[in-house]
Amino acid sequence: MQRPEAQKRIAQLSSDLRRHNYLYYVKAEPEITDFEFDTLLKELENLESQFPDFITPDSPTQKVGSDSIGDFQTEKHQRPMLSLGNTYNAEELREFDARIRKALEIDTVVYSCELKIDGLAISLQYEKGALVKAITRGDGVQGDVVTENVKTLRNLPPKLNAGAPQKFEIRGEIFMHRKGFERLNAERAASGQALYANPRNVASGSLKIKDSREVAKRPLDILLYHYYGEDQMFSSHSQGLNEARTWGLPVPETSRVCKGIDAVIDFLKDWETKRHDLSFDTDGVVVKVDSISQQEELGFTAKIPRWAIAYKFPTETAQTRLLGISYQVGRTGAITPVAELEPVLLLGTTVKRASLHNSNEMQRLDIRVGDMVYVEKGGEIIPKITGVVLESRDSHTPVQLFIETCPECHTPLVRAEGEAQHYCPNTRQCPPQVVGKLEHFIGRKAMDIQSVGSELCETLYRAGLVKNVADFYDLTESDILRLDRMGEKSATNIIKGINESKMQPFERVLFALGIRFVGETVAKKLAFAFEDIDALSLADTEALIAVDEIGERIAESVIQYFKDPENQIIINRLKAHDLIFKAEKQETKGDELTGKVIVISGVFEIHSRDELKAMVEAHGGKIGSGVSSKTNFLLAGSGIGPSKLAKAESLGVPLLSETEFLALLQS
């Protein structure tokens, strides 16, 4: 490449990489994969090494991206928080090992191999056994002080065990388990909110919430991978971490000390498949020289340590043909384009479909039916289309236009200004929307009608028997018997289940109605704030937003719902069927616990946890979500986490067993 051309390309790459850094660290909404990012960065590194005079101090090769968002106080790290060199293949790992052996003039290097957790880096400072400061990586030099938020993490003990040094720093990764992520997304889906892309993005977003009480509700976790003591207590990295574990800190159990590079490669190969059984995402393995004196001898480059490297697990990419695009209609009417692909094998499974998300994404890819496309599957389970093989496109292939009418009911689609998603506005008659609403109504967290599943909702709708949620309660056994493959026994069972659901409390009924943005928690808040549906249906914006956690968007949606005469008809019919539309007066059985906050944790012998919760409330007490200085009792069952116990102990919160608790209520 000629100098002027190289200069132009360097400028372009630098500005692209800076933008991608911002999208990844600050917005937590990356547009490209790690692999694509690393490829661009490598290209820039290569060009800069050919034309070193074009290197600027703020080039992305010289600096790490910053996660700082300006909402928190920032503070300088005691030692810079560096990133790591990356490699995607074993060959480069062997070269890394060769460089180290040469520099240290030894034959075999001892490495610590650790899973690379896909979350966000954090530095913790401990003094006298207590966490005094938590700082995000930021730009590597200074980061955001998020101590209060980090203190909400359930697996960090409030007080360390004896033996911990007076003062030290330890670094690690904050992340979210896939289960917690899925639960959070299910809640968002239930209230019609946009879904989060992956656990890493939510973990990063959660840590940057200003209100720590909100952070406490997010299922975040932490694992620590780097200890820095004041004086050199340990001769190896792994020893420091093993000690830290005995102080009560969460240190991964999966790390291994490996002698020589062959053992390291065995470790990677092993985890390349085993990682899918983990409860969290890992995108590779970090290989570190274990001896601290050797680490010191090797030192750092401007950006990375010479004694460590990250091996990234391969994301598999394949090429296949786009056979067509189909469009799915969700419960809320949101239209999702889906790529129908010529079946292709990726990481052991056959991929036939991939989500295209929305019309913006289709435009960004400029994807057209008949194109050869790149499909990729990495840490995330859902395959994605990362690009089009433009060279193999036939020049006559027409530009792909988004559909204009609903594929199910042919109503013209709408798209609100500033929104990415198209919607079908025919909420009342569009079949998948109607069936989706029925499925939501019977759901476990809504009316919990277990005798009616998703399939039966669809059948009842197709048979013209149930067109809205009120129709469930008009069904008779003979209606059911007319359906295919239905016997007396199932018919009785189905009707029984439907009738039993009439006992569900108001907050569940309210959630079951499927009002947009009214998820489980919001439904509870509204039910208890307004006490009955009539008061709620008359509430104006002001009254609604006066309720804790209700904002204008939810208020607007509630008002719109009750404005609609057809919804009024449905509610009146449900009322006629004796569904509960009044919040049960929190039945009080006593006031032994008035003003007391009780945290319940563990497994109990006599009552279920839900029963115990109800008892606390019936006796005037409040349920606390985590042990804090405001907790009056910790009702502890078996299997309660040691960190909870330790926290209660350090705060002087008394423990109650189940029998002690029951005795207290008797007294």
CA dist., res. 231 & res. 2, Å (int): 52
Residue linked to tokens 């509430």: 539
The closest alpha carbon to 451, from 381, 500, 379, belongs to 500
Contact 249, 157 (CB under 8 A): yes
SS3 at position 583: coil
Nearer to ligand IVH, 171 or 644 (CB): 171
Q: Which secondary structure element, helix H or strand E, spans residue 530, and what is its range?
A: helix 520-530
For residue 270, the one-letter residue type is: D
| Three-class secondary structure assignment of 365-383 | HCCCCCCEEEEEECCCCCC
Nearest distance from residue 451's CB to ligand IVH, in Å? 47
Q: Work out how close the CB of 94 gets to ligand IVH at its nearest, in angstroms, rounded to a whole number.
A: 20
Residue 562 dihedral angles phi and psi, to the nearest 5°: -75, -20
Q: What is the nearest approach in angstroms of ligand IVH to the Cβ of residue 35?
A: 13
Phi and psi torsions of 384, nearest 5°: -135, 160
Which is closer to ligand IVH, CB of 83 or CB of 521?
Answer: 83
The verdict on whether 63 is a catalytic residue reads no
User: Which residue, 281 or 408, has its beta carbon nearer to ligand IVH?
Assistant: 281
Nearer to ligand IVH, 181 or 530 (CB): 181
The CB-of-84 to ligand IVH minimum distance in angstroms stands at 4
Residue among 225 and 511 whose Cβ is closer to ligand IVH: 225
Task: Provide the minimum distance between the beta carbon of 315 and ligand IVH in the complex, in angstroms, as a whole number.
Answer: 16
Assign 658 to helix, strand or coil: helix
Which CB, 289 or 375, lies closer to ligand IVH? 289
83/212 with CB nearer ligand IVH = 83
Q: Is 580 exposed, middle or buried (0-12, 13-18, 19+ CB in 10 A)?
A: buried
CA neighbor of 252 nearest in space, from 296, 292, 217, 286: 286
- What is the rounded CA–CA span in Å between residue 547 and residue 390? 53
C-alpha to C-alpha distance for 251 and 244, rounded to whole angstroms: 7
37, 220, 640 from 280: Cα distances, Å: 22, 11, 22
Report the residue number whose CB is nearest to ligand IVH: 121
For the CB of residue 431, give the shortest distance to ligand IVH in the complex, in Å: 46
Widest distance between CA atoms in the chain: 89
CB atoms within 10 A of CB 519: 20
Instruction: Give min distance, CB of 225 to ligand IVH, in A.
Output: 4
- Which residue's entry shows tokens 């960090």? 156
CB of 622 to ligand IVH, least distance (A): 38
Angle at 593 between CA 589 and CA 599, to 5 degrees: 115
Out of 27, 63, 102, 116, which one is annotated catalytic? 116
Q: Which residues bind ligand IVH (CB under 6 A)?
A: 82-84, 114, 116-117, 121, 173, 225-226, 286, 305, 308, 310
Q: Is the dihedral of CA 601, 602, 606, 609 positive or negative?
A: positive
- Which of residues 224 and 635 has its CB atom nearest to ligand IVH in the complex? 224
Strands 597-601 and 422-423: unpaired
- Give the residue numbers annotated as catalytic, written as ranges: 116
